[in-house]
Chains A and B, each alone.
Chain A
Amino acid sequence: MKKTTSIHIKGIQFIVEETAFETLQSYLNRLESKLSGTEGKTEIIEDIELRIAELFSDIQAGNTSRVIVQEDVDTCMAKLGEPEDYIDGSGADNENQSSAEYMKEDNFKRTDKKLYRDVEKANIAGVCSGLAAYFSVDVIIVRILFLIILFFAGFGLPLYIILWIVLPKATSHVDRLRMQGKPVTVENVRDEVEMAAKRMSEESSKFARKINRDHNVQQGINSVGRVIRVIIGLFFLFIGTTACVTFLIFLVFQFNIIPVSDANGLYSAHQFTSLFWENTSELNIVWSIGLFVTAVLIAYVLISGVKLVFNMSFKWFKYLSRTALATFVIGVVLMFYIGTSLTTQFLFESEVERTLNIDAPALYLETNLENNLNIKDQKFKINENNRFWLVSKNGRIYHSNYSVHYIESKDSLFHVTVKSKSQGPNQSKANKNAQNIDFKILQNGDTLSFAKQYNYPIQDKIRGQEIELYIQIPANKSVFFQGKEIKLEPDDKIFNQVPTSRGMVIHGDGKIEIWN
């Protein structure tokens, strides 16, 4: 006959033989002492007790008055195992050996160190990370060097892409060892495997820290690298915000800032570019792509800045970098395209001439032809004396600067030649552009009046249209411009820009004369 004790686990009662109870009690005590200092100790004990209760219930098999005897308890203990066998003595569970220590290992015999791409620590494709591992320097230094090469020697980007293609990813452990320059001995690999197994249980503590909002995930950062990171990050943030603000203002408010006056005032940048670009719908596409590229690059700079300064790591940053790179390439291609498109429009040149021959003792030049353009109508005027470089009104573009040249006449007549010049994508278009330039000259006996501006249709677009006036002066005769006499002396060169009626004479002996 044996004595019994009544226990309960989570509300379920069991009647246990006294000796069995003592065995159970001492097991739980051993368990508790092995677990002392461990986080979650209470729960672990609870779980084990639950398991014991389960086992007891199974033993009872429905018969709740069946007593739990010594053999039953022994069986349970055997199933569960000794606390010593499954509870770690330290309780701290290897959290102490960090991977940083692992990195500092001295057996760095540099046998056969291979260059790989380190895809785990990659920003875009791991090229710089791989290089950094190969040379044992902090990644940020390699990145800076790469950017310097990119900007100042011009072949950084193709170089990066070539390396991206050529260098293999460091996928397997053998690769990773080679990448870090450790000899691939069985011992080292066994260590790697051990380390990896440990790492998996370490991952948990690292992960816990991640969840607890500790963003410091980088291993073995040296402090120089950190300082550089922060400085560069701040720089990026500065550039990024400035660019962002400018961009937003430009985009949202579409300021009309270009001094091309129109009936409505100044032009916006988009309108201004449409004066050059042949095809307007194509121009809109170019603008959209351009704005998109700028937006993406600005976003990238800002995010990089934040990442560097606050030492954060985003899982998707790799993809953002790749997108930014692709966009950058698109941007470069776009610029190339813009460049070639524009230059092709200016390939051919054309010149159209007309000449007036005047037989008179003197020639009088005036520039007071009425224009169908009244500057006073414009809303924006810089001031009385400054004309806009070009004005767009009524479907035509007006320029107010043309040059006047005075040369000797071969006979006794005055010859006034107007040369209209223009460029274009092909000869016939260039010719048409030149012919379309309108520059009126009124002749009244010995007085010539010409317009203050020349103009051409807006559909022709700006193609370098210009006007040159050549006035041939016979010997001993004079030209009077706005009342001032112009007499040619040998070796004189006169260059005169009409609208401001300012003139400059460079005499043969180098003397310069300027009149207003």
Chain B
Amino acid sequence: MNAENTQAQMRKGILEFCILSILKKKEAYPSEIIDRLKSAKLIVVEGTLYPLLTRLKNMELLAYRWEESPSGPPRKYYKLTENGQQFLNELNDTWEELQIAVQTLTK
């Protein structure tokens, strides 16, 4: 269906932005990120996260470190790099542009 495609596109575009925003304040490991997204009612399927994280890391927007966990496997703690910070700022600008546009049109 037409709407689904577009909807998926919209969510996909936004997801990166959200992940970077979550990591802006402090580092987090994947399930933390998932929980945050879930509480904001954004993510539907967890698996979506992992390819994205890896991609962002390969672009040097994120970096991670390992930490042993008391109750389970070791965790990857992701954090924003400087490039990532810059990138996030640019996304922020685009996001604001979009908000204004959408608001104007959906009046």
Chain A contacts to B: CB under 8 angstroms: 9-12, 35, 38-40, 43-44, 47-48, 50-51, 53-54, 56-58, 62, 79-83, 85-88, 171-174, 186, 189-190, 192-194, 196-201, 203-204, 207-208, 211
Q: Is there an interface contact between B45 and A50, defined as CB atoms closer than 8 Å?
A: no
Chain B residues within 8 Å of A62, by CB: 71
- List 17 additional A-B contacts (Cβ < 8 Å) besides A35-B51, A173-B101: A10-B73, A40-B51, A44-B50, A47-B54, A50-B76, A53-B73, A57-B71, A86-B47, A172-B101, A192-B101, A193-B10, A193-B101, A197-B9, A197-B13, A203-B94, A207-B59, A208-B59
**Chain A residue at minimal CB-CB distance from B54:** A40
Chain A residues within 8 Å of B75, by CB: 50, 54
Instruction: Tell me whether A39 and B58 are in contact in the complex, defined as CB-CB below 8 angstroms, given that A57-B71, A57-B73, A200-B17 are known contacts.
Output: yes
Q: How far is the CA of A74 from the CA of B58 in the complex (A)?
A: 31
Residue B1 at the A interface, CB < 8 A? no
The answer, among A79, A174, A197, for a CB contact under 8 Å with B104, is: A174
B19 vs chain A, min Cβ distance (A): 12
Instruction: Tell me whether A211 and B14 are in contact in the complex, defined as CB-CB below 8 angstroms, given that A43-B54, A51-B50, A204-B61 are known contacts.
Output: no
B54 vs chain A, min Cβ distance (A): 4
Instruction: Tell me whether A81 and B73 are in contact in the complex, defined as CB-CB below 8 angstroms, given that A44-B50, A47-B54 are known contacts.
Output: no
Chain A residues within 8 Å of B67, by CB: none
Q: Is there an interface contact between B30 and A194, defined as CB atoms closer than 8 Å?
A: no
Instruction: Tell me whether A194 and B6 are in contact in the complex, defined as CB-CB below 8 angstroms, given that A9-B73, A81-B48, A211-B60 are known contacts.
Output: yes
Count of A-B contacts judged by CB separation below 8 Å: 139
Chain B CB within 10 A, most for which of A9, A38, A54, A82: A54
Chain B contact residues, majority secondary structure: helix
Q: How far is the CA of A448 from the CA of B20 in the complex (A)?
A: 97
**Chain B residue at minimal CB-CB distance from A176:** B97
Q: Is there an interface contact between A172 and B48, defined as CB atoms closer than 8 Å?
A: no
Residue B37 at the A interface, CB < 8 A? no
Q: How far is the CA of A273 from the CA of B73 in the complex (A)?
A: 80
- A–B complex contacts, Cβ < 8 Å, 28 sampled: A40-B54, A43-B57, A50-B30, A50-B73, A53-B72, A57-B71, A62-B71, A81-B44, A85-B45, A85-B47, A88-B51, A171-B97, A172-B104, A173-B101, A186-B105, A193-B10, A193-B101, A193-B102, A196-B13, A196-B94, A197-B10, A197-B13, A199-B13, A200-B16, A201-B12, A201-B16, A204-B59, A207-B59
**Chain A residue at minimal CB-CB distance from B60:** A211
Instruction: Tell me whether A57 and B72 are in contact in the complex, defined as CB-CB below 8 angstroms, given that A81-B47, A204-B55, A211-B83 are known contacts.
Output: yes
A102 vs chain B, min Cβ distance (A): 14
Q: How far is the CA of A48 from the CA of B50 in the complex (A)?
A: 7
A439 vs chain B, min Cβ distance (A): 74
Q: Is there an interface contact between B14 and A200, defined as CB atoms closer than 8 Å?
A: yes
Chain A residues within 8 Å of B98, by CB: 173, 193, 196-197
The answer, among A173, A190, A199, for a CB contact under 8 Å with B100, is: A173
Q: How far is the CA of A171 from the CA of B30 in the complex (A)?
A: 35
Q: Is there an interface contact between B101 and A189, defined as CB atoms closer than 8 Å?
A: yes
Q: Is there an interface contact between B31 and A51, defined as CB atoms closer than 8 Å?
A: yes
Instruction: Tell me whether A38 and B104 are in contact in the complex, defined as CB-CB below 8 angstroms, given that A54-B31, A86-B45, A198-B9 are known contacts.
Output: no
The answer, among A50, A86, A197, for a CB contact under 8 Å with B48, is: A86
Q: Is there an interface contact between A203 and B91, defined as CB atoms closer than 8 Å?
A: yes
**Chain B residue at minimal CB-CB distance from A205:** B59
Q: How far is the CA of A189 from the CA of B87 in the complex (A)?
A: 24
A34 vs chain B, min Cβ distance (A): 10
Chain B residues within 8 Å of A82, by CB: 45, 47
Q: How far is the CA of A204 from the CA of B94 in the complex (A)?
A: 13
**Chain B residue at minimal CB-CB distance from A315:** B86
Instruction: Tell me whether A44 and B12 are in contact in the complex, defined as CB-CB below 8 angstroms, given that A196-B97, A200-B94 are known contacts.
Output: no
Q: Is there an interface contact between A47 and B58, defined as CB atoms closer than 8 Å?
A: no
Chain A residues within 8 Å of B87, by CB: 203-204, 207
Chain B CB within 10 A, most for which of A53, A57, A87, A173: A173
Chain A residues within 8 Å of B48, by CB: 81, 85-86
**Chain A residue at minimal CB-CB distance from B103:** A172
Chain B residues within 8 Å of A174, by CB: 101, 104-105
Chain A residues within 8 Å of B53, by CB: 47
**Chain B residue at minimal CB-CB distance from A204:** B59
Q: Is there an interface contact between A54 and B73, defined as CB atoms closer than 8 Å?
A: yes
Chain A residues within 8 Å of B6, by CB: 190, 194
**Chain A residue at minimal CB-CB distance from B48:** A86
Q: Is there an interface contact between A80 and B54, defined as CB atoms closer than 8 Å?
A: no
Ranked nearest first, the 4 interchain pairs of A and B with the lowest CB-CB distance are A197-B13, A81-B45, A57-B72, A173-B101
The answer, among B13, B73, B74, for a CB contact under 8 Å with A200, is: B13
Residue B23 at the A interface, CB < 8 A? no
Q: Is there an interface contact between A10 and B16, defined as CB atoms closer than 8 Å?
A: no
B100 vs chain A, min Cβ distance (A): 5
The answer, among A173, A186, A189, A197, for a CB contact under 8 Å with B14, is: A197
Chain A residues within 8 Å of B59, by CB: 204, 207-208, 211
Instruction: Tell me whether A81 and B46 are in contact in the complex, defined as CB-CB below 8 angstroms, given that A197-B9, A204-B56 are known contacts.
Output: yes
Chain B residues within 8 Å of A200, by CB: 13-14, 16-17, 91, 94
Q: How far is the CA of A194 from the CA of B8 in the complex (A)?
A: 10
Q: How far is the CA of A86 from the CA of B43 in the complex (A)?
A: 11
Q: How far is the CA of A215 from the CA of B29 in the complex (A)?
A: 34
Q: How far is the CA of A192 from the CA of B105 in the complex (A)?
A: 12
Q: Is there an interface contact between B72 and A47, defined as CB atoms closer than 8 Å?
A: no
Q: Is there an interface contact between B16 and A204, defined as CB atoms closer than 8 Å?
A: yes
Q: How far is the CA of A290 from the CA of B10 in the complex (A)?
A: 55
Chain B residues within 8 Å of A198, by CB: 9, 13
Instruction: Tell me whether A172 and B45 are in contact in the complex, defined as CB-CB below 8 angstroms, given that A53-B73, A199-B94, A208-B59 are known contacts.
Output: no
